[in-house]
Amino acid sequence: MIDRGFVGPKYYGVKEDLRRLALEAGPEASLPTERALAVRYGTSRTTIRQAIAELVAEGILNRTQGKGTFVAREHRAYVRQRTSFTDDAREQGLRISSIVLGIDYPVADEHSAGQLRVAPGTGLTRVERVRLIDEEPLAHEVAHLPGTLTDLEQILEQDGSLYAVLAARYGRRVAEVEDTVETSIAGPVDAGLLAIETGSPLLLIHRLGLDAAGTPVEWTRSVFRGDRFRFFARTHR
Amino acid sequence: MIDRGFVGPKYYGVKEDLRRLALEAGPEASLPTERALAVRYGTSRTTIRQAIAELVAEGILNRTQGKGTFVAREHRAYVRQRTSFTDDAREQGLRISSIVLGIDYPVADEHSAGQLRVAPGTGLTRVERVRLIDEEPLAHEVAHLPGTLTDLEQILEQDGSLYAVLAARYGRRVAEVEDTVETSIAGPVDAGLLAIETGSPLLLIHRLGLDAAGTPVEWTRSVFRGDRFRFFARTHR
DNA sequence: TAGTGGTCTAGACCACCAA
DNA sequence: TGGTGGTCTAGACCACTAG
């Protein structure tokens, strides 16, 4: 609605041109090598890499050391419409799975105690997982549960839904959830777990699950791949 | 919970060291120049810039051409708890304002018609604004309203809240909103409007406002600064 | 005008992958 | 082994800010 004449730096022109090429070439197509692009555009490889880097951050391109640079499959389709990752995904007919990285039993520090509304020093159960959709890692989650639930591990392997296990085994039903959503940047750990590059944008979501009485049942910190995930919320005014 | 030994590339060590320095120095503190840091760390300026770039993307640092690099004021405190930016901000005691970039009257294309559930070709009112908090640009919004509301401009200047104007002047009350939240990357236009760098992470939010009968009243595309904004949602299961 | 960050170059070596 | 992307260098010039 406002006419914006704009001429940016050279890498920006390259970037927009590559974006167009990627769109035409379609998913899975491979791009020329960085060195070839540098020749084609009459620039240095650095300039090409700056352009590619931003397109990777936007989820348009993927690149793998030793292999090459490719047009990403476009599917930012996953939403979080209800309250359970498992339910959401099943509803969309997606094959979901989890890798349990670890379960341990720390005592509540000041922050987690405040979130879960228990006394600092209370025993907690902490579950660290990577969530996958169609075999692709999508999220890294650390859930904090009040109490020491020592038989959680075996149960979780059967049914990937933490909420279902909490309800069926422990009688803790989540009736309401509070989410905060913000952006974050992948550090090397999250980048490795999610198979993305350091510096990629993430959605950082903190979720507090409450039972019908308003008692906290679960407090989870999750990072989701920013290029694959879309958060959905419906609010009555 | 999982021990992760990690030694990254050189720029990553510099980055984490600068992060610590920034934390110690406190908000508004100025960093040494890139050239000075290059000498201090025994690297090239390129390496220093890569470290700084990621800290800027995380909202830890700001930099301005010709001035220098500074520790950002930490305040990612703004939430969107209710349904109106104006209400949310007032509730938190923040000074908010808007700049109306333009109002025009396009006809609905296929996509906006689908969102607003009107026939393609229907007249719309489009309002493009920059939203500011404490004089700082925070969001860039383009709202689409069904119908041709030609006297909107003067009214909006008096009361910044589009929702309030829609209710008071046109009897359209928003009873429910649906938000989708995803990440995006600032292009040059958004970067200029929001006073951030190209490539900075953004929260891209699409909001559909419905009245009590479920009729769409407003459909808005917003980009929020990812380093300053936190989205909040409460959902009953 | 001096100094800052912004962009770009041409090249080097490394880490990883596939044949 | 050859080719890819990943990191890094030493330097150049430009655009912008401030005194």
Q: Are A183 and A226 in contact (CB under 8 A)?
A: yes
Nearest chain B Cα distance for residue A8, angstroms: 8
Range B1-4 contact pairs with CB under 8 angstroms and sequence separation of 24 or more:
B1/A101, B1/A102, B1/A104, B1/A106, B1/A126, B1/A128, B1/A142, B2/A101, B2/A102, B2/A128, B4/A189
- The pLDDT value recorded for residue A87 is 74
Does residue B35 surpass a pLDDT of 90?
yes
Distance in angstroms: CA A68, C1' D2:
14
- The pLDDT value recorded for residue B33 is 94
**Where along chain A do its domains lie?**
10-71, 85-225
Report the residue of A19, A166, A181 to disrupt the B interface, i.e. the one with the largest count of B CBs within 10 Å.
A181
- The pLDDT value recorded for residue A200 is 82
Distance in angstroms: CA B197, C1' C3:
21
Q: Are B174 and B163 in contact (CB under 8 A)?
A: yes
Between helices B34-41 and B10-25, what is the axis angle to 10°?
120
Nearest chain B Cα distance for residue A81, angstroms: 9
Mean pLDDT over residues A72-87, rounded? Answer: 72
Closest nucleotide C1' to the C-alpha of B8: D7
Q: Are A22 and A29 in contact (CB under 8 A)?
A: yes
B180·A57 Cβ contact <8 A: no
Does residue A1 surpass a pLDDT of 60?
no
Does residue A204 surpass a pLDDT of 70?
yes
Least confident range from A89-103, A150-164, B6-20, B187-201: namely A150-164
pLDDT tens figures, A93-111: 777 888 888 899 999 999 9
- H/E element, B169: helix B162-170
For chain D, which bases have at least one atom within 7 A of a protein Cβ? Answer: 2-12, 15-18
Q: How many CB atoms lie within 10 A of CB A122?
A: 15
- The pLDDT value recorded for residue B141 is 93
Q: How far is CA B192 from CA A199, A206, B138, B196, B220, in A?
A: 22, 30, 12, 7, 20
For A168-197, give one letter per residue: b (16+ CB within 10 A) or e: eeeebebebbbbbbbbbbbbbebbebbebe
B1·A203 Cβ contact <8 A: no
Least confident range from A63-72, A100-109, A188-197, B9-18: namely A188-197
Of A4, A83, A181, the CB nearest to B231: A181
CA-based nearest residue to A129, from A85, A72, A173, A92: A85
- The pLDDT value recorded for residue B1 is 55
pLDDT tens figures, B160-214: 678 887 777 788 889 989 999 999 888 778 888 888 877 788 999 999 999 999 9
- H/E element, B168: helix B162-170
- The pLDDT value recorded for residue B137 is 87
B31 touches strand C (CB under 7 A): yes
Of B1, B178, B199, the CB nearest to A102: B1
Nearest chain B Cα distance for residue A164, angstroms: 13
Give B-chain residues touching A226 at CB under 8 angstroms.
182-183, 201
Name the average pLDDT for chain A: 85
Of A101, A175, A231, the CB nearest to B180: A231
Give A-chain residues touching B101 at CB under 8 angstroms.
1-2
A6·B102 Cβ contact <8 A: no
- The pLDDT value recorded for residue A157 is 67
- The pLDDT value recorded for residue A95 is 78
Nearest CA in chain B to A202: B183
Is beta strand B176-185 parallel, antiparallel or unpaired with respect to B136-146? unpaired
pLDDT tens figures, B68-111: 999 988 766 677 766 677 777 777 777 788 888 889 999 999 99
Closest nucleotide C1' to the C-alpha of A65: D5
A62 touches strand D (CB under 7 A): no
Nearest CA in chain A to B80: A180
Exposure of B217 in the CB half-sphere (CA atoms within 13 A): 22
pLDDT tens figures, A19-52: 999 999 988 899 999 999 999 999 999 999 989 9
Give A-chain residues touching B180 at CB under 8 angstroms.
79, 230-232
B45 touches strand C (CB under 7 A): yes
A31 touches strand D (CB under 7 A): yes
Q: What angle do CA A93, A98, A101 make, to 5 degrees?
A: 170
For A25-61, give one letter per residue: b (16+ CB within 10 A) or e: eeeeeebeebeebbeebebeeebbbbbbbbbbbbbbb
Distance in angstroms: CA B201, C1' D2:
38
- The pLDDT value recorded for residue A216 is 96
CA B173 to chain centre: 25
A201·B58 Cβ contact <8 A: no
Residue found by looking up tokens 């949310």 in the block:
B88
Q: Which residue is nearest to nucleotide D10 (CA to C1')?
A: B44
Quote the tokens at residue A82.
């209800």
Residue found by looking up tokens 């999610």 in the block:
A194
B10-71, which class in CATH?
A: mainly alpha
Quote the tokens at residue B42.
């025994």
CATH code for the domain defined by A85-225: 3.40.1410.10
A150 touches strand C (CB under 7 A): no
A107/A121 Cα distance (integer angstroms) = 5
B54 touches strand C (CB under 7 A): no
A163/A90 Cα distance (integer angstroms) = 14
Q: What angle do CA B56, B60, B63 make, to 5 degrees?
A: 45
Residue found by looking up tokens 């220093």 in the block:
B48
